[in-house]
Amino acid sequence: MLTNQLNSALCFILVLTLSSCAQLSLFQDAKTAGKGNITVGGHLSGYGVTGEENGSFDQIILPSIVVHGGYGVTERLDLQLSASMAGSLLFAPKYQILGNRTSKWAMAVNPGGEVHFGDFDDRNIGVFRMHLSSIGSYHPSDKMSIFVEPRYIVQYQNRRDVDIFYGTNAGIQLKISEMADFSIGSSLFRVNDSNQLLFQLGLGLRLKLNTE
């Protein structure tokens, strides 16, 4: 009993660390912005942590705010940079490997590297996360897309500590004008090999500063 409680507490600390710092998704579909186009935006998210025994929500962490920007280097490649209120910075280029601006189906790869700027000393060199991600999306019309984004995160902390987070983001992106997209999404991630899950709900807005 005590061992289970200790494992739950340790797992919860790991989840708390990730949810307060890591960026799980930008809530976007697989299509890129297009060559020469600039985008800016942000999203607001809330997190829940499931209990290890009964699946109930033990903790809600609100809010998490992320701002991001992107630039279309080519028709298929966007350079993306995002920053969270918790002090993390994520560089995650998106390369579209399937589809074009008018296709109903699209797919992209979206790897990234994230640094959390915490306290640095001889024992704590901060947190670095490696993101491996792909995005698939279906576009029933030019004003709506449905996206799924499996993601695998490796977290390095305090030189020796390595944690694994893996899961999926999914949501809907709506075109509300020629210059703006609105998205709503959710995430579900498993922490290492534990039974605890990290759940996220978020709302996002992306603005196109210039379009062809």
Write out pLDDT tens, residues 71-125: 999 999 999 999 998 889 999 999 999 999 899 999 999 999 999 876 555 555 6
Distance CA 100, CA 76 (A): 8
Predicted structure pTM score: 0.83
pLDDT over 90 for what percent of the chain? 57
For range 27-36, the mean pLDDT: 95
pLDDT of residue 122: 52
SS3 state at 20: helix
Tens of pLDDT, residue by residue over 161-194, are: 888 989 999 999 999 998 999 999 999 999 887 7
Q: C-alpha angle 119/120/122, rounded to 5°?
A: 135
Going by C-beta distance under 8 Å and a sequence separation of 6 or more, which residues neighbour residue 131? 90, 92, 110, 111, 112, 113, 114, 151, 152, 153
Report the C-alpha gap between 74 and 92 in whole angstroms.
15
Give the residue extent of every domain in the chain: 2-210
* Rounded CA separation 48/60 (Å): 5
Topology (CATH) of 2-210? Porin (2.40.160)
Q: pLDDT-derived band of residue 20, with 50, 70 and 90 as boundaries?
A: very low
Select the more confidently predicted residue: 135 or 127: 135
What number is the average pLDDT over the span 57-76? 83
CB 92 within 8 A of CB 79: no
Q: Using an 8 Å Cβ cutoff, are 60 and 48 in contact?
A: yes
Does 138 have pLDDT greater than 60? Answer: yes
The pLDDT, as a whole number, for residue 19 is 45
Residue-level pLDDT at 22: 76
